[in-house]
């Protein structure tokens, strides 16, 4: 394309945050349409917040270096060297989308350089970009997996095929990689002013434009994100071909494709959030972009319908989305299991992108209410307090099988959260010609322009630990404009837009705004308190979003949360976790729904948090089938985002308040008191004797154990008893996730008992049956032993799993 240097330099003045926030278009593109509300660049905001600034510093000092190191260890970086001829060998890493992790790391580091200048990191980025440049083919194509395979005359990853775009609308991820490249190149250019990465992205985008489109290759990406990337590249360069191509990729999608990747209908005819949640939110965010830039009502109508379906029926109380691990995405309306909740970190990030764009269109605070809930809960739980361990799913309940990992083979989440955190300053404010929006509450100072006047605005707050906020507004000269302050729904008796979650009690929460020491009679507009005046230097606003612990109840249609309550404080959900309860058990508690909770500041706990304190009782099952209750015990709750920083163990968001939903501590049994071991060690071994029983073979409500990806071999599980026992029967419930999963019932099984140092098969009184969706029981002649072993023969082409193994 023709390089319009002056246009690019002009656009750079207004260039805004890349990963989620649309850029202001330059003047020549205004006729094409734009968001009614303009973002305020993250470069205009200096963050001094006690809550977020340390997290962004840890992200810079720990998370980003880990991401680079792991990319070197895994060969992700070497892939570019091999593709570019600097090294020899085959593709080093696991997936064809591994290129995208390098792009996200560059994006994360680019943002981080604004807050934490770092010459060494800047040089490292130039080194990575140089490797990307040599890996790019002459016409602009870049996908290291295919390039390396064609150079070496070997087979590329089967998801890609042997030629470019062969499986583009399936699993190739060629366009997905490029979408992340475009986002990263825009961010790098904004942060550094260097064109080295931007030129690579432009060359790749020109190649795409020459390849795809009406009358060319009419196909769409299997994993969306290229649409957002192309829009952002258009914002930087002013090249409308990129915008048109983004719209093409949406227009050409569906019908007749997979619901998994939202290709079952034309995008403008979709009304429900379905399929893979990350793919979905990336696409929905791009749909909002196209609705704005083309003034397209059909795109806007679809976006509104899908948003309501997601928020009103398919969002967790933590703001996470994606109930199902099978499709890493949405389940049926109100199907929101807690222990099996997927809530992928990347999906929370995509949800932030989309809600921000919806706000820019409508100026309604409800989008920020959802964004804030996700940000303070399901999103930042994705990384631990030290910045060196990560969650892929973010469940709402655990018996100890969950813990954060150092890294993942599919490593999309760590660099994704690494790029989100340093971009946060760009989410705080937004504006129109004569209005300034205050959307998030963080200690900061910003320099921006409203009504053709430079304005300095500062916030002073300890949010989210208390709701007291002071805002200083100092325009360069006296100037009239509206200051619009978001009054969060949680402070106005609304847990979340819609009726999916509600507060148990309503309170009179009128917010008093003080302007220069006197009460101000503001008006409300779409959830914003509007202060209209001629502003002058030294104007000060103060108010208190009073924070008290609130009891949250779920819609009765959410069967997993019936007769249970959760606790919210400000924007944060709170949880019970094992270290704070004697005995380390929190899943067998019952609480008084009407109790008054107390807030306690604990500076030395979990990096400094407010805890919520009340009382609870422990429920135990009795041998006659009844329940017993302990005396009242202290109950301490911590913020959801901070769980699993003190080791793996029980955790729950939702706590029963009556007997209809209690989960009593089971009466002890031989199995539950046994030590469990297996041929393949796993945290999920605790599922074997947890006495949580499945409803069918594919039930994901409770944990299960499996040997995947092993197949066609003998495996085993062993119970070592507390003492010598006489046993005569055993029964097993198999895990089978057919037809799409990798586990099936075994081909055969047997029970052995320990006799001294020997393992001897029991004398069975019948045949070992293998069935699905029911218990397989074997009676045998009584044996006195200290241990039993369950041996399993895995199917020839599949693995096997177990829900529960009972011994009597």
Q: Are strands 453-461 and 518-519 parallel, antiparallel or unpaired?
A: unpaired
Q: How far apart are CA 523 and CA 503, in angstroms?
A: 25
Dihedral angle sign, alpha carbons of residues 206, 209, 212, 216: negative
Q: How many C-beta atoms lie closer than 10 Å to residue 656's C-beta?
A: 23
Helix (H, G, I), strand (E, B) or coil at 91: coil
Burial (CB count within 10 angstroms: exposed 0-12, middle 13-18, buried 19+), residue 708: middle
Query: What's the rounded Cα separation, in Å, for the pair 390 and 716?
Result: 30
Quote the CA–CA distance of 257 and 247 in Å, as a whole number. 18
The single residue listed with the structure tokens 């909770």 is 597
pLDDT at residue number 5: 32
Report the chain's C-alpha Rg in angstroms.
28
C-alpha span between 660 and 656 (Å, rounded): 8
**Chain position carrying tokens 């177990």:** 802
Give residues with Cβ within 8 angstroms of 297, minimum separation 6.
291
The three-state secondary structure class of 160 is coil
Cβ atoms 138, 153 nearer than 8 A = no
Measured CA to CA, the distance from residue 698 to residue 85 in angstroms comes to 47
pLDDT on residue 667: 83
Closest CA to 199 of 226, 164, 239: 239
Match 């100026």 to its residue by tokens: 363
Which residue in the block uniquely carries the two structure tokens 């990406």? 221
Among 249, 237, 256, residue whose Cα is nearest residue 179: 249
Q: What is the C-alpha to C-alpha distance for residues 16 and 12, in angstroms, rounded to an integer?
A: 8
What pLDDT is stored for residue 250 in this prediction?
A: 98
Domain formed by 430-486+510-544, architecture: Sandwich (2.60)
In this prediction, residue 33 carries a pLDDT of: 62
Are the CB atoms for 144 and 99 separated by under 8 Å?
yes
d(CA 670, CA 720): 9
HSE (CB half, 13 Å, CA atoms) of 634?
A: 9
What was the pLDDT predicted at 27?
Answer: 28
**Sign of dihedral through CA atoms 152, 153, 154, 155?**
positive
What's the pLDDT score for residue 18?
36
Residues whose CB is less than 8 angstroms from the CB of residue 138 and which lie 6 or more positions away in sequence, other chains included: none
Instruction: Report the C-alpha gap between 710 and 798 in whole angstroms.
Output: 7
Q: How far apart are CA 391 and CA 642, in angstroms?
A: 12
Q: Which of 203, 171, 204 is nearest to 96 (CA)?
A: 171
Q: Which position has the token pair 């009972």?
A: 806
For 675-807, the fitting CATH number among 3.40.50.720, 2.40.128.50, 2.60.120.260, 3.30.465.10 is 2.60.120.260
CA atoms lying within 13 Å on the CB side of residue 179: 25
- Give the pair of three-digit tokens for residue 615: 């009382």
Picking from 484, 649, 635, 488, the residue whose alpha carbon sits closest to that of residue 569 is 488
Residue 279: strand, helix, or coil: helix
* Domain regions of the chain by residue span: 50-252, 254-382, 430-486+510-544, 555-661, 675-807
Q: Is the peptide bond before 739 cis (omega within 30 degrees of 0)?
A: yes
List, for the chain, all residue ranges whose pLDDT scores fall below the cut of 50: 1-31
What is the DSSP code string of 524-551?
EETTEEEEEEEE-TTEEEEEE-----EE
- Distance in angstroms (rounded) separating the CA atoms of residues 644 and 218: 47
Among residues 630, 459, 585, the alpha carbon closest in space to that of 51 is found at 459
- pLDDT given at position 32: 53
CA distance 495 to 178: 38
**Cα 116 to Cα 793: distance, rounded to the nearest angstrom:** 56
């Amino acid at each position: 394309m023709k390089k319009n240097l002056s246009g690019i330099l002009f656009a750079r003045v207004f260039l805004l945050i890349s990963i989620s926030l649309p850029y202001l278009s330059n003047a020549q593109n205004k006729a094409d349409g734009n968001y009614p509300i303009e973002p305020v660049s993250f470069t205009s905001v200096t963050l001094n917040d006690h809550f977020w600034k340390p997290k962004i510093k840890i992200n810079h000092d720990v998370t980003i270096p880990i991401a680079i190191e792991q990319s070197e260890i895994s060969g992700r970086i070497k892939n570019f060297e091999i593709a570019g001829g600097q090294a020899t060998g085959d593709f080093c890493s696991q997936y064809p989308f591994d290129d995208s992790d390098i792009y996200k790391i560059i994006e994360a580091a680019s943002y981080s350089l604004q807050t934490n200048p770092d010459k060494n990191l800047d040089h490292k980025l130039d080194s990575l970009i140089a490797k990307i440049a040599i890996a790019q083919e002459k016409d602009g194509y870049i996908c290291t997996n295919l390039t390396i395979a064609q150079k070496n005359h070997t087979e590329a990853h089967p998801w890609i095929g042997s030629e470019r775009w062969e499986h583009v609308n399936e699993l190739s991820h060629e366009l997905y990689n490029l979408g992340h490249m475009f986002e990263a190149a825009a961010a790098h250019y904004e942060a550094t002013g260097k064109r080295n990465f931007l030129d690579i992205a432009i060359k790749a985008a020109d190649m795409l434009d020459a390849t795809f489109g009406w009358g060319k290759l009419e196909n769409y990406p299997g994993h969306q994100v290229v649409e957002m990337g192309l829009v952002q590249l258009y914002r930087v360069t002013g090249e409308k071909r990129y915008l048109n191509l983004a719209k093409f990729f949406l227009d050409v999608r569906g019908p007749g494709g997979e619901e998994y990747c939202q290709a079952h209908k034309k995008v403008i005819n979709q009304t429900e959030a379905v399929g893979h949640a990350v793919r979905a939110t990336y696409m929905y965010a791009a749909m909002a972009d196209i609705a704005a830039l083309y003034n397209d009502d059909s795109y806007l109508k679809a976006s509104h319908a899908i948003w309501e379906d997601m928020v009103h029926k398919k969002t967790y109380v933590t703001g996470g989305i994606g109930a199902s691990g099978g499709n890493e995405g949405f389940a049926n309306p109100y199907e929101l299991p807690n222990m099996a909740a997927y809530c992928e970190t990347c999906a929370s990030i995509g949800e932030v992108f989309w809600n921000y764009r919806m706000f820019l269109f409508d100026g309604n605070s409800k989008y920020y209410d959802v964004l804030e809930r996700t940000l303070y809960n399901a999103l930042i739980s994705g990384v631990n307090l030290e910045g060196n361990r990560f969650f892929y799913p973010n469940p709402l309940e655990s018996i100890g099988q969950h813990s954060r990992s150092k890294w993942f083979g599919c490593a999309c989440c760590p660099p994704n959260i690494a790029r989100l955190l340093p971009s946060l300053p760009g989410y705080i404010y937004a504006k129109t010609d004569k209005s300034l929006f205050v959307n998030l509450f963080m200690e900061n100072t910003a320099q921006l322009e409203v009504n053709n006047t430079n304005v300095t605005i500062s916030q002073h707050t300890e949010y989210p630990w208390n709701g007291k906020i002071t805002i200083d507004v100092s325009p360069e000269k006296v100037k009239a404009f509206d200051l619009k302050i978001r009054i969060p729904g949680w402070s106005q008796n609304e847990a979340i837009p819609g009726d999916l979650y509600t507060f148990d009690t309503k309170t009179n929460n009128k917010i008093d705004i003080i302007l220069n020491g006197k009460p101000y009679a503001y008006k409300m507009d779409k959830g914003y308190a509007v202060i209209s005046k001629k502003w002058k230097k030294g104007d000060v606003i103060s108010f208190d979003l009073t924070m008290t612990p609130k009891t949250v109840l779920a819609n009765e249609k959410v069967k997993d949360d019936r007769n249970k309550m959760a606790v919210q404080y400000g924007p944060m959900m709170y949880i019970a976790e094992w270290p704070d309860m004697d005995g380390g058990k929190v899943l067998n508690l019952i609480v008084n729904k009407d109790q008054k909770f107390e807030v306690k500041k604990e500076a030395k706990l979990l990096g400094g948090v407010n805890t919520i304190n009340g009382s609870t009782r422990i429920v135990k099952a009795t041998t006659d089938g009844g329940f017993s209750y302990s005396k009242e015990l202290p109950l301490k709750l911590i913020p959801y985002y901070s769980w699993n920083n003190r080791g793996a163990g029980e955790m729950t968001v939702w706590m029963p308040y009556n007997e209809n939903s209690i989960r009593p501590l089971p009466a002890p049994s031989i199995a539950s008191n046994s030590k469990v071991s297996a041929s393949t060690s796993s945290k999920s071994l605790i599922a074997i004797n947890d006495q949580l029983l499945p409803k069918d073979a594919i039930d994901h409500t409770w944990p299960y154990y499996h040997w995947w990806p092993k197949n066609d071999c003998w495996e085993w599980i062993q119970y070592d008893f507390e003492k010598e026992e006489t046993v005569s029967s055993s029964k097993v419930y198999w895990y089978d996730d057919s037809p799409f999963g990798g586990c099936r019932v075994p081909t055969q099984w047997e029970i052995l008992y320990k006799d001294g140092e020997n393992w001897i098969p029991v004398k069975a009184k019948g045949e070992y049956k293998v069935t699905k969706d029911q218990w397989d029981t074997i009676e045998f002649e009584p044996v006195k032993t200290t241990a039993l072993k369950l041996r399993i023969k895995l199917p020839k082409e599949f693995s096997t799993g177990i829900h529960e193994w009972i011994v009597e």
